[in-house]
Chains A and B, each alone.
Chain A
């Protein structure tokens, strides 16, 4: 069968016509009849020519159709087989597709910018001394940026700066959104063009010029109904820097545009402050650069070294400061990539198990169809044809499964996206798109080819003509070794998945049972961001105090408090404290302590235990300024000496009219137990101080009300929503129950643990069904053999034991191989485990016990059937 044959051109239409005409003429001449009679003898000339042409044009297509038809017919005869195979494969392919769709942006898809490999995030990492705090992401002081990077430094072709903040469109329908401040060249550095209107110009970026804005495509559709005349319209923007009005819209961003890091709906020119000696330090920004051709991030870091000093001006010299240049993609994806690969590995294992399962079914089917294949061979089908038929069947199975899986992936993707923890970029916009579609086809073909190889080989053997002679039950000694080996493989893979999921579940359990230092079960919180255009500071404070008063009178209210952030969220402020009567040596490290503001009942509401002293009282709002520490802060500041009664001074509280506001000395009146207050639950509690909302400068615009209640959390949430709506119907509020707050913190371990457990459960099910089907096959094949043994006196127990023993050998093989596999695989899990070792005996014992139990159930029925073979019937069967 040469390849050239497939491409050889056949005779032309003209030749075919001539050939038939010659035939008709010869026939007429030979029979001595007219042309018409010869035509009648031939039948339909047109149809004949069509048949001839089809031979040349689309033979492969015909064959494919014919095979598909054959396969379809054989499926219709055995619908249970086809259904089982398609569903099993669809499970594996569907889960893979959904996960691929969810993680495409994290793992595979390049950033949606021009030449994205050269885009880097560049900035400083700083670590204050002796604190344990360390920047995880690089940032740049805006002053240093303006001063030293006015001309683009050498490793870069261009640089740009940005940051994002919460803002509000304060018009008829107020809407809270995210805004981005960007330099005018931002889009050009990324290589993005606006969809409508114009990009920012250098003139827009000069401080003092009227504010202009670019809006996202989503905002354009949502708020402006895709009106093409939106350009040149104006809007009012409420920002932390004050009310900007009017802001002129100059353009619309493309639909597929994504911000490099945090999302934003409106971009405004950064209008970075020109150098002003009176303002020491304003804010930090994110700097992005496009590297010159052939400069690696490492080389860029070295090239920037001389500028470190100039850039880090304003950062105390005791801080450790270093450059970091990292690919933008890495910063964007962060450690989500690790989770992505873990899940991909798990789902690939699941797909593998599903494939092995179907291979097993196919092998059983080939054995069943031996005689059919042999007959086909006898009447002229070549071996290759039989192999093709077998391969086609598996490919068609997988393609059908790919289709079903694609449908399933739609539903699964929603679930993944809903479950996904924060910090996995792009998962919210993940969709089943062309890429997923292509992967579906690819996976279908690949799976089909790989599950079909073995069955095809066994068909090839059937083709030798021996098949016709074989009877339905194979020779008694034959063992389906291959099929058992497949079951062993399945079991091994399942062990690895089960072990991994057991570890993650243990770890999740540990995370969930970390004592947080608070009792939030019966607490409901309400957070509000007040608009500065609708509230003055006094009105804001009054709003929250009124909210507090009304919350206290809701049914079931036990206690209520205000704070600028509820635990276990990190304290909003931090800084170093002075201690009265102690002169810090110049340049000596100063500990950094978190700073939170709260009303007196805060501690009661969250049930934070009092260690020494007392909580705030109403009377503290006048007179001597006071402060409360947690145990870590007390230890850090006073190193074992009693803190009560000592006076300390918090860091600079802010700027007013360009001058730093220095806090007065405050007396320590109480020490409370530590509360988990890191970014993650598993972070150790860090030192923290509390100041009193009533008398200290706190932001009256952003605040959180916490209510402890005996009412059901759902009801309490409804009460809070109601009182907020009564006070100000336009105000947007976020209400979270304590459980929700805590759930958010454990989102990532939960996501991982549940997904992996689901995969492992499915894998276990597949492995069990594989074992069941092979053991049943074995018993059916040996009916006669078993019958003889029972006839000559073997007890049913012996027979059952033999079946279980045979299966058991393969199970044990699988468990051993799987443990080795799991031992290697779970090392990758290490970073995701909390207080569990990868070789944790409990997890592995639990996993193996579950496995053993399920597999025993799977093999029970075949063993039972073997034990109850009726010897007479079995011997008479043939």
Chain B
């Protein structure tokens, strides 16, 4: 549940990452790290609770699989409500970001 800003941001990042394809927790952290060129570093301690929250909310699904390296990992996949959710919060995030940007420009 995204009530506070940081959580909302993390939720957005996770969903966005999973929109590119199923992944495990470490993969998600790595993806965010790399695509933001190291600007955003995911707090790994909050990543997993956030994943479970999203899982519980039904926005993502989890499944145990074996990775290419032969390691067992919990793989997360975006669900249909998850896609809808992603669209919603992406929009409201953009609105907010745009608003903040304009204010910063004029201040």
Interface residues of A (CB under 8 A from B): 1-2, 5, 8, 10-11, 15-16, 18-20, 22-23, 25-27, 29-30, 41-44, 47-48, 51-52, 54-56, 59, 63, 66, 376-381, 385
Question: Contact between A27 and B26 (Cβ–Cβ < 8 Å)?
Answer: yes
Question: Contact between B3 and A19 (Cβ–Cβ < 8 Å)?
Answer: no
Question: Contact between B5 and A23 (Cβ–Cβ < 8 Å)?
Answer: no
User: Across the A-B interface, how many residue pairs have beta carbons closer than 8 Å?
Assistant: 95
Q: How far apart are the CA atoms of A335 and B57 in the complex, in Å?
A: 58
Question: Contact between B26 and A22 (Cβ–Cβ < 8 Å)?
Answer: yes
Query: How far, in Å, is A545 (CB) from chain B's closest CB?
Result: 88
Question: Contact between A55 and B56 (Cβ–Cβ < 8 Å)?
Answer: yes
Q: In the assembled complex, which residues on chain B have CB atoms less than 8 Å from the CB atom of A379?
A: 2, 4-5, 8, 92, 96
Question: Contact between B8 and A380 (Cβ–Cβ < 8 Å)?
Answer: yes
Question: Contact between A22 and B53 (Cβ–Cβ < 8 Å)?
Answer: no
Question: Contact between B43 and A26 (Cβ–Cβ < 8 Å)?
Answer: no
Q: How far apart are the CA atoms of A23 and B49 in the complex, in Å?
A: 14
- The DSSP consensus for interface residues of chain B is helix
| Cβ-closest chain B residue relative to A4 | B58
Question: Contact between A10 and B56 (Cβ–Cβ < 8 Å)?
Answer: yes
Question: Contact between B92 and A380 (Cβ–Cβ < 8 Å)?
Answer: yes
Extra A-B contacts (5), CB below 8 Å, given A43-B43, A52-B52, A385-B1 = A11-B74, A47-B45, A51-B48, A52-B48, A381-B2
Q: In the assembled complex, which residues on chain A have CB atoms less than 8 Å from the CB atom of B57?
A: 5
| Residue contacts A-B, CB under 8 angstroms, 27 given | A5-B56, A5-B57, A10-B55, A11-B52, A15-B64, A19-B48, A19-B74, A22-B24, A22-B26, A22-B72, A23-B48, A25-B71, A26-B24, A26-B73, A48-B45, A51-B45, A51-B48, A52-B49, A52-B52, A54-B49, A59-B53, A59-B56, A376-B3, A378-B92, A379-B5, A379-B96, A380-B2
Which B54-73 residues sit within 8 Å CB-CB of chain A?
A: 55-58, 62, 64, 69, 71-73
Question: Contact between B25 and A23 (Cβ–Cβ < 8 Å)?
Answer: yes
Q: Given that A22-B73, A379-B8 are contacting pairs, would A5 and B58 also be in contact in the complex, using a CB cutoff of 8 Å? A: yes
Query: How far, in Å, is A211 (CB) from chain B's closest CB?
Result: 74
What size tier do the contact residues of chain B reach? 35 or more
| Cβ-closest chain A residue relative to B72 | A22
Question: Contact between B52 and A10 (Cβ–Cβ < 8 Å)?
Answer: yes
Question: Contact between B56 and A15 (Cβ–Cβ < 8 Å)?
Answer: no
Question: Contact between A48 and B71 (Cβ–Cβ < 8 Å)?
Answer: no
Q: In the assembled complex, which residues on chain B have CB atoms less than 8 Å from the CB atom of A11?
A: 52, 62, 74
Q: How far apart are the CA atoms of A1 and B56 in the complex, in Å?
A: 10
| Cβ-closest chain B residue relative to A66 | B3
| Cβ-closest chain A residue relative to B74 | A19
Q: In the assembled complex, which residues on chain B have CB atoms less than 8 Å from the CB atom of A26?
A: 24, 26, 71, 73
B95 touches which of A5, A42, A43, A378 (Cβ 8 Å):
A378
B30 sits at the interface (CB 8 A): yes
Q: In the assembled complex, which residues on chain B have CB atoms less than 8 Å from the CB atom of A41?
A: 44
Question: Contact between B44 and A55 (Cβ–Cβ < 8 Å)?
Answer: no
In this complex, the member of A11, A44, A379 whose beta carbon has the largest number of chain B beta carbons within 10 angstroms is A379
Q: In the assembled complex, which residues on chain A have CB atoms less than 8 Å from the CB atom of B71?
A: 22, 25-26
Q: How far apart are the CA atoms of A106 and B43 in the complex, in Å?
A: 64
Q: Given that A63-B1, A385-B3 are contacting pairs, would A56 and B56 also be in contact in the complex, using a CB cutoff of 8 Å? A: yes
B89 sits at the interface (CB 8 A): yes
Q: Given that A5-B58, A380-B8 are contacting pairs, would A55 and B52 also be in contact in the complex, using a CB cutoff of 8 Å? A: yes
Question: Contact between B58 and A2 (Cβ–Cβ < 8 Å)?
Answer: yes
Query: How far, in Å, is B62 (CB) from chain A's closest CB?
Result: 7
A381 touches which of B3, B53, B56, B96 (Cβ 8 Å):
B3
Q: Given that A18-B72, A55-B53, A379-B92 are contacting pairs, would A43 and B45 also be in contact in the complex, using a CB cutoff of 8 Å? A: yes
| Cβ-closest chain B residue relative to A42 | B44
Q: How far apart are the CA atoms of A344 and B44 in the complex, in Å?
A: 60
